Amino acid sequence: MQGAAISFPAPLSLSAKPRKPAAARFNPLSFCSSERLRLGDGASLSFPSASSSGRFLSPIGCSLKQSGWISGPNHGSSEAESDGVVVRATAESAGAAESPKSKGFADTLVLGTLFGLWYLFNIYFNIYNKQVLKAFHYPLTVTLVQFAVGTVLVTLMWTLNLYKRPKISGAQLVAILPLAVVHTLGNLFTNMSLGKVSVSFTHTIKAMEPFFSVVLSAMFLGEFPTIWVVSSLLPVVGGVGLASMTEASFNWAGFWSAMASNLTNQSRNVLSKKFMVKKEESLDNITLFSIITIMSFILTAPAALFMEGVKFTPSYLQAGQGVNVKQIYTLSLLAALCFHAYQQVSYMILQRVSPVTHSVGNCVKRVVVIVTSVLFFRTPVSPINSLGTGIALAGVFLYSRVKGIKPKSKTA
């Protein structure tokens, strides 16, 4: 018997003729242990931990409710209770040996599922979005639809208490507004690029995001890169240049739209570091993304109506575009759902892994999106184009690995 303990509940009366206590019965099959799994903490950003409860053992075998060890119902022996004897057996050594393995497996399974969903939602978003933009050449209206669907989902999430509704102050809204502006522009420029060039080429250009991140961080945050980071950016820039020169669908509008998307998306990260350090202390990343989605919808609606007009009505689609209205509506809805879903899952992953791991996963995701889009749309790709894309993605991978390397401090 492992870790057996015998305790006497107070008070214990002794009579003149003490009777012989009944033999305590211990049934090893009646013992069980319960665990609570800690799914992970936010490793890099300031938001509350998902759980802080540790592992506990709940002896249910032969015990009394009066003892402070459990709070559940008693399934022990009535004979042992009548004699005032409590036999408590635990298997702490066995549980300690099994718990880390089961916990590690569960954590790995959850994280693997989230990464799979992240990639899957992103693949389908790019496919559905490209199909819509090929038939409906109004990227601002398409962006508005995506933010509108996201706003509806966020509202339902808060209304149904699926996620806690935040309390936002005016100062926080003012600080979030610049992030919403660049977030809106980043998604608009991405849609503009997808409407002009192939999905694979857009994502090849977007592989230059680390370059803009390093430049903007040095300019506005004073964070200068190490020699390792600079070295990793060389294949990124060279690979994108090589792929651009040999891209069959190349045009300058699509190229500069993707570049502008890189600039605005990385500006959002820099602005978040510069202005949101103190004012978003009570906001986790999912809440922050939800608020930005609503603000982006409010910003996009008047711009879309002013610049493109009302172009998403059934009568206009049938008369002006000559497309299947039901198909366009269905694809637009699916693209918007996948757009919001992959962003939410991305933040859920970021709560469980380090920024470096998340960056590596994002690099792999870009490879998967490029390969699947080439296969789905049968995009013509030359060997030189493939080589340039591969070099650029390899540089992004190197960047994600070396950006955490800090120069050794010189000691006197």
CA–CA dist 247, 13 (Å, integer): 92
Q: Please check the confidence at residue 170 and state whether its pLDDT lies above 60.
A: yes
Go through the chain and tell me how many residues it has. 412
pTM value > 0.95: no
Cα Rg of the chain (Å, integer): 29
Per the CB < 8 A criterion, the answer to whether 186 and 206 are in contact is no
DSSP 167: -
Of the listed ranges 63-67, 140-144, 192-196, the one predicted with least confidence: 63-67
CA–CA dist 133, 328 (Å, integer): 10
Is 223 a domain residue?
yes
In the block, tokens 């996963």 appear at 361
Listed in sequence order, the residues at least 6 apart from 98 whose beta carbon sits closer than 8 Å to its beta carbon are none
pLDDT average, residue stretch 229-245: 93
In the block, tokens 């910003």 appear at 299
Cis, bond preceding 100 (omega within 30 deg of 0): no
Is 187 a domain residue?
yes
Residue 403: phi, psi to the nearest 5? -70, -15
CA–CA dist 83, 326 (Å, integer): 76
Is 324 a domain residue?
yes
Of the listed ranges 89-103, 140-154, 294-308, the one predicted with least confidence: 89-103
Of the candidates 284, 300, 345, 287, the residue with the CA atom closest to the CA atom of residue 124? 345
Is 23 a domain residue?
no
Instruction: Between 410 and 406, name the one with better pLDDT.
Output: 406
pLDDT average, residue stretch 328-339: 95
Per the CB < 8 A criterion, the answer to whether 198 and 379 are in contact is yes
Question: Which pLDDT does position 251 carry in this prediction?
Answer: 92
Q: Please check the confidence at residue 375 and state whether its pLDDT lies above 60.
A: yes
Beta carbons within 10 angstroms of residue 3's beta carbon: 14
| Per-residue model confidence as pLDDT tens digits over 40-59 | 444 343 434 434 444 433 33
Domain that holds residue 242: 114-401
CA distances to 67, 77, 257, 334 from 35, in Å: 20, 24, 51, 39
Is 151 a domain residue?
yes
Is 71 a domain residue?
no
Is 252 a domain residue?
yes
Residue 4: phi, psi to the nearest 5? -75, 140
Question: Which pLDDT does position 320 carry in this prediction?
Answer: 62
Q: How many domains is the chain built from?
A: 1
Classify burial at 247, counting beta carbons within 10 Å of its beta carbon; exposed 0-12, middle 13-18, buried 19 or more: buried
Listed in sequence order, the residues at least 6 apart from 379 whose beta carbon sits closer than 8 Å to its beta carbon are 198, 199, 200, 248, 249, 373
- 361 is written with which tokens? 């996963």
Of the candidates 57, 55, 83, the residue with the CA atom closest to the CA atom of residue 3? 57
- Strands of 138-217, DSSP E: none
Residue 86 pLDDT grade (very low, low, confident, very high; cuts 50, 70, 90): very low
- 157 is written with which tokens? 């999430």
CA distances to 13, 241, 290, 309 from 191, in Å: 82, 21, 20, 18
Cis, bond preceding 407 (omega within 30 deg of 0): no
Is 310 a domain residue?
yes
